[in-house]
Structure 1
Amino acid sequence: MHRSILFAAALAAGLSTAAVRADEVSDAITEAQRAYQGGRIQAAQTALQEALQLLQQRAAAGLAAALPDALPGWTAEEASSATAGLAGMFGGSTASRTYRNAQGQSVEIQVMSDNPMIAQLAAVMANPMLAGAMGRLVRVGEQRAIQGNDGNIQMLVDNRILVQVQGDAPAEAKLAYARAINLARLAGR
C-alpha cells in the first residue's frame, strides 16, 4: 500500500512537469490524492488504477500513431490499439494495422510494449548469434531486425517494444512496411 502512495506521488510529480494539464489522467491522480488525504485508501487505490489505465490507453494510441499509412498500391485498415490491465497475463499496450494489395496479399504490423514476454525475447534478440539463428539479420533504419524464412520480421525497439511484420505478401513488401514504421515515434513515446 505504501508503494502505491509513493508511486502516486512520483506519477503526479512526473505529470506536473510534462505537458499534460487538466485532463482525465490528472483528474484521476487528483482524486486519488484527495481520497488518500481523506483516509479513503480503497478509493485512492481505485483512482490510481484508473490513472494507470488511462496512461496505458495513451501509450497504446501512441503505438498506433507510429504505424505507417498504406504504401503505393496498397490499402490500409484503420489502426487498432488496446491495453491489458497490470494484472493481465501479458499486460502492456498493443497496436496493429493490416494492409492489402490488389492481388489480395496482406501485411499486418503488430506492436506490443511493456509486456513481460518482451523481456524474455529481448535477451535472445540482443545477441546477434542467437538472433541470427532465428532468421536473416536485416537493418530497419538503425534497428537490427530478424527476417525469417517466411519473410516475417521481428524487431525490438528501445528494448521494450516488439514489432512484428507478418502476412502472406512477399518478403520485400514486409521489409518495406517495417522500414515505413515511425521508429523514432515508438522509441520516444
Structure 2
Amino acid sequence: MRIRRTLRLLLAASLCLAGPIQADEVSDQIEAARKAYESGELRNAIETLNFAVAKIQEQMTANLVKLLPEPLPGWTADEPESQAGGMAAMITGTTLSRIYRREDGAEITLSLMADSPLMPMLTMAMSMPFVMQNNQDMKTYSFKGYRGMLEHAADSADYEITLMVGNRLVIQGKGSRLADSKPIEAYFEKLDLEAIQTALTH
C-alpha cells in the first residue's frame, strides 16, 4: 500500500513540473515502477521510484535557484547552491544560497531558508527584546514590514541581517568588508518575497 501511495504522489508531482522532456522521463519511470510493483519485483520498483524522486528533486532545485537575484552592477556571483532534499535538508530545512563579490574584496552571502531551526530562535528573540538589548552588537531590524535582527560590531566591517518572512521562511544576508548594511539591503530589494514564500513553503 505504501509503494502504491508513493506512486500516486509521484505521478501527481510529475504532472506539475514544467519541462515536458523531464516530466516524460519521470512519468516513464513511475509507470515502470508501477509495473514492477504489480509483477512482484519490489526491489526494482523501489530503485525505479528512487530514480524518479531524484529527477523530481533536480527539477525542483533548478526552479528554486532562480529565486536568488543576479549580481548587482559592480558585483559578480557564484552559481547558486540549493539543499532541497536528503537527510541534511530534513534537519536544516530547504536552503538556497549564493555568494556575491565586489572588486574591492567585499562579499555577501544571501541565504533563503524554509523550515529553518533559526525560526524558533528568532521568534523567541522578537518576543523578548531584552535578549538583543543585552548584546550591544545586535539590534532589531525591519524590512518591508518583516521583522528581524541586524548584527554588527562597532570595530568590524562585517554585517549580518536575519529576517523572518511569514512563519516558515528566514532570509539572511551576511556581508564582509562593507561600510554599512546597504549592499545587503540592495539584494533584499531584488527578492520577490511573495514568490519565495510560495515556492519554499507550499
Q: TM-score range by the shorter chain?
A: 0.7 to 0.9
Relative to structure 1, is the Cα distance of residues 107 and 42 closer, same or farther in structure 2, using a 3 angstrom cutoff? same
Q: 1:151, 1:166 within 8 Å by CA — same for their partners in 2?
A: yes
1:32 partner letter: A
Gaps of 5+ in 1: none
Relative to structure 1, is the Cα distance of residues 48 and 67 closer, same or farther in structure 2, using a 3 angstrom cutoff? same
Q: Structure 1 residue 143: deviation in Å?
A: 3.5
Q: For 2:159, what is the secondary structure of its paired residue?
A: coil
Q: 2:7, 2:49 within 8 Å by CA — same for their partners in 1?
A: yes
Relative to structure 1, is the Cα distance of residues 105 and 88 closer, same or farther in structure 2, using a 3 angstrom cutoff? closer
Q: 1:85, 1:91 within 8 Å by CA — same for their partners in 2?
A: no
1:147 partner letter: L
2:160 partner letter: N
Name the CA distance, whole Å, in 2 between partners of 1:143 and 1:132. Answer: 19
Name the CA distance, whole Å, in 2 between partners of 1:58 and 1:48. Answer: 16
Relative to structure 1, is the Cα distance of residues 132 and 167 closer, same or farther in structure 2, using a 3 angstrom cutoff? farther
Q: For 1:69, what is the secondary structure of its paired residue?
A: coil
Name the CA distance, whole Å, in 1 between partners of 2:150 and 2:128. Answer: 13
| Aligned residues between the structures | 183
Q: 1:152, 1:166 within 8 Å by CA — same for their partners in 2?
A: yes
Q: Structure 1 residue 70: deviation in Å?
A: 1.5
State the Cα deviation string for residues 49-86 of structure 1 (Å, max 9, x = none): 22222222223222311111112332223323355424
Matched, 1:5 2:8: no
Whose Rg is larger? 2
Name the CA distance, whole Å, in 1 between partners of 2:32 and 2:54. Answer: 15
Query: Which has the larger displacement, 63-72 or 79-88?
Result: 79-88
1:173 is matched with which residue?
183
Corresponding residue to 1:139 among 118, 137, 142: 142
2:32 is matched with which residue?
31
Q: For 1:173, what is the secondary structure of its paired residue?
A: helix
Note the aligned Cα RMSD (angstroms): 3.0
State the Cα deviation string for residues 94-144 of structure 1 (Å, max 9, x = none): 432211223210101123446xxx2x3322334422588454333334543
2:10 partner letter: L
Q: 1:66, 1:183 within 8 Å by CA — same for their partners in 2?
A: no
Identity %: 30
Q: 2:14, 2:56 within 8 Å by CA — same for their partners in 1?
A: no
Relative to structure 1, is the Cα distance of residues 142 and 46 closer, same or farther in structure 2, using a 3 angstrom cutoff? farther
Q: Structure 1 residue 87: deviation in Å?
A: 7.4
Q: What does 1:100-115 align with in structure 2 at a 5 Å threshold?
A: 100-113=101-114
Q: For 1:23, what is the secondary structure of its paired residue?
A: helix
Name the CA distance, whole Å, in 1 between partners of 2:84 and 2:56. Answer: 10
Relative to structure 1, is the Cα distance of residues 96 and 88 closer, same or farther in structure 2, using a 3 angstrom cutoff? closer
Matched, 1:125 2:122: yes
2:11 partner letter: A
Q: For 1:95, what is the secondary structure of its paired residue?
A: strand
Gaps of 5+ in 2: 133-137, 153-157
1:79 is matched with which residue?
80
Q: For 2:7, what is the secondary structure of its paired residue?
A: helix
TM-score for both structures, normalised by structure 1:
0.76
Name the CA distance, whole Å, in 2 between partners of 1:47 and 1:126. Answer: 41
